[in-house]
């Protein structure tokens, strides 16, 4: 794709004005970094507040008295009992238990659900919803809305200046909030492991809101480069890299995201695509699983690197890797055979034909600091 054919978010002109280096991402022309640089952007988010443009993500509203029951048939998650004003992490699964996409689902009340799906999957997710549940609820794509993420320990101070009530929100709460006189949706959540907010705002008002937030002394504009290193330190999956249709939630170490009510012994067990395979894997185990990996040398280990055992046998591959600025060391995640995925197991990555020592590690690599009240 050329830069002319790439889609642009409502903040595109602002990114250029701020001196961003733009790259193609999920069909959009997106800022990978600003003049501050990835390392400083990452550390600024951990220490103060970073503003991310995530308007490339897909926003979809489901309406109707049967919307929750309908959506619950597509995800291994408790949607029916999701409280009004709360948001939950979910996954669309296929008939083999593979992950079609991961998403956030919020209950707006009044028989209304608000979904945020991944940019690269948003059109196929919309088609999936229309094909599977259009007869049971209204499906409204809101691709004309922008999405901003304000992340970091100072995010609450900044956003509370515009709307004091956001300070009382706790992790995963979701609420309609007026910001600069505009009706927005705000969730206390994010993709960095830090406290913070995601703000859905009508596209026409996105730039004014972004400029207002960037005018605050604690806030810096942050690009996709630091977004990736922040989420990697937090042990968070990136769809299409750390999980896909070829991995199940069990293989991806996402059992925690399967609601207890939907598990094999739950009140509403199964009823979602691939349930039988997922339950069998939970019971019997899997051949390989996603784990955290800490390289023992100062060599970044990138996605796609083979993982071998002491005898040089291939036992897995790296799905995400890079440098962790907060840790001051390389970090990675990968799929490793179950015989080698216990904590502290020594393994090696093949980097340019050389073995780099690693050990299996717990995620998150950096403690998550969500605000739970």
pLDDT of residue 4: 72
Cβ-count burial 233-269 (b if 16+ within 10 Å, e if not)? bbbbbbbebbbeeebbbbbbbbeebbbebbbeeeebe
Per-residue pLDDT tens digits for 64-73: 999 999 999 9
Q: Is the pTM value of this prediction over 0.85? A: yes
Q: How many residues does the chain have?
A: 373
CA torsion through residues 270, 274, 280, 281, sign: negative
Could you list the mean pLDDT of each consecutive 10-residue stretch along the chain, which spans 373 residues? 83 98 97 98 98 98 98 98 98 98 98 98 98 98 97 98 98 98 98 98 98 98 98 98 98 98 98 98 98 96 98 98 97 98 98 97 97 96
User: What is the domain partition of the chain in residue ranges?
Assistant: 12-58+144-233, 287-365
pLDDT of residue 2: 62
Please tell me whether the peptide bond between 362 and the residue prior to it is cis, using omega within 30 degrees of 0: no
User: Can you read off the two tokens belonging to residue 73?
Assistant: 């048939």
Other CB atoms closer than 10 Å to residue 195's CB: what's the count? 23
- Degrees (nearest 5) of the Cα angle 185, 187, 190? 130
Q: If DSSP states are collapsed to H, E and C, what string results for the chain?
A: CCCCCCECCCCHHHHHHCCCEEEEECCEEEEEECCCCHHHHHHHHHHCEEEEECCCCEEEEEECCCHHHHHHCCCCCCCCCCCCCEEEEEEEECCCCCEEEEEEEEECCCCEEEEEECHHHHHHHHHHHHHHHCCCCEEEECCCEEEEEEECCCHHHHHHHHCHHHHHCCCCEEEEEEECCEEEEEECCCCCCCCEEEEEEEHHHHHHHHHHHHCCCCEEECCHHHHHHHHHHCCCCCECCCECCCCCCCCCCCHHHCCHHHCCCCCCCCCCCCHHHHHHHHHHCCCEEEEEEEECCCCCCCCCCEEECCCCCEEEEEEEEEEECCCCEEEEEEEEEHHHCCCCCEEEEEECCEEEEEEEECCCCCCCCCCCC
Q: Are 99 and 245 in contact (CB under 8 A)?
A: yes
CA distances from residue 295 to 39, 307, 340 in whole angstroms, order as listed: 19, 11, 15
Closest-CA residue to 113 (of 66, 177, 68, 77): 68
> Which residues are bridge partners to 291 per DSSP?
334
Per-residue pLDDT tens digits for 309-322: 999 999 999 999 99
Per-residue pLDDT tens digits for 73-128: 999 999 999 999 999 999 999 999 999 999 999 999 999 999 999 999 999 999 99
- Find all residues with CB under 8 Å of 250, minimum gap 6, and list them: 97, 278, 281, 282, 286, 289
User: Can you read off the two tokens belonging to residue 369?
Assistant: 């600091």
CA distances from residue 280 to 50, 290, 351 in whole angstroms, order as listed: 42, 18, 35
What is the CATH T-level fold of the domain 287-365, as seen in this structure? Elongation Factor Tu (Ef-tu); domain 3 (2.40.30)
Q: Does domain 12-58+144-233 have CATH number 3.30.1360.120?
A: yes
Place of tokens 């989420």: 231
Other CB atoms closer than 10 Å to residue 110's CB: what's the count? 8
């Amino acid at each position: 794709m050329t830069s002319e054919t790439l889609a642009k978010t409502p903040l595109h002109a602002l990114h250029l004005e701020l001196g961003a280096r733009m790259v193609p991402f999920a069909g959009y022309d997106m800022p990978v970094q600003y003049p501050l640089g990835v390392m400083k952007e990452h550390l600024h988010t951990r220490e103060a507040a970073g503003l991310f443009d995530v308007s490339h993500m897909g926003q979809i509203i489901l309406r109707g008295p049967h919307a929750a029951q309908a959506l619950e048939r597509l995800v291994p998650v408790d949607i029916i009992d999701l409280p009004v004003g709360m948001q939950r992490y979910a996954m669309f699964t296929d008939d083999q238990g593979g992950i079609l996409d991961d998403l956030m689902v919020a209950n707006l009340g009044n028989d209304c659900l608000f979904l945020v799906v991944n940019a690269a999957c948003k059109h196929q997710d919309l088609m999936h919803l229309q094909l599977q549940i259009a007869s049971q609820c209204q499906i409204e794509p809101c691709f004309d809305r922008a999405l901003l993420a304000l992340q970091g320990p100072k995010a609450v101070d900044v956003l509370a200046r515009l709307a004091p009530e956001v300070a009382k929100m706790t992790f995963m709460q979701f609420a309609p909030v007026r910001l600069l006189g505009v009706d927005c949706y705000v969730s206390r959540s994010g993709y960095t492991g830090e406290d913070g907010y995601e703000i859905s705002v009508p596209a026409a008002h996105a730039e004014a809101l972004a400029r207002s937030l960037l005018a605050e002394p604690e806030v810096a504009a942050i690009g996709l480069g630091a977004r990736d290193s922040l989420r990697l330190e937090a042990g968070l999956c990136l769809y299409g890299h750390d999980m896909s249709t070829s991995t199940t939630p069990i293989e991806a170490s996402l059992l925690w995201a399967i609601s207890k009510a939907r598990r094999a012994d739950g009140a509403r067990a199964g009823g979602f695509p691939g349930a039988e395979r997922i339950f069998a894997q939970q019971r019997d185990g899997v051949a390989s699983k996603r784990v955290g990996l800490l390289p023992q040398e100062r060599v970044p280990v990138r996605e796609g690197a083979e993982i071998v055992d002491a005898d040089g046998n291939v036992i897995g591959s790296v799905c995400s890797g890079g440098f962790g600025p907060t840790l001051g060391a390389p970090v990675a995640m990968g799929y490793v055979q179950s015989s080698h995925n216990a904590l502290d197991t020594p393994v090696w990555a093949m980097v340019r034909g050389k073995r780099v020592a690693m050990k299996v590690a717990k995620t998150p690599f950096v403690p998550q600091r969500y605000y739970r009240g």
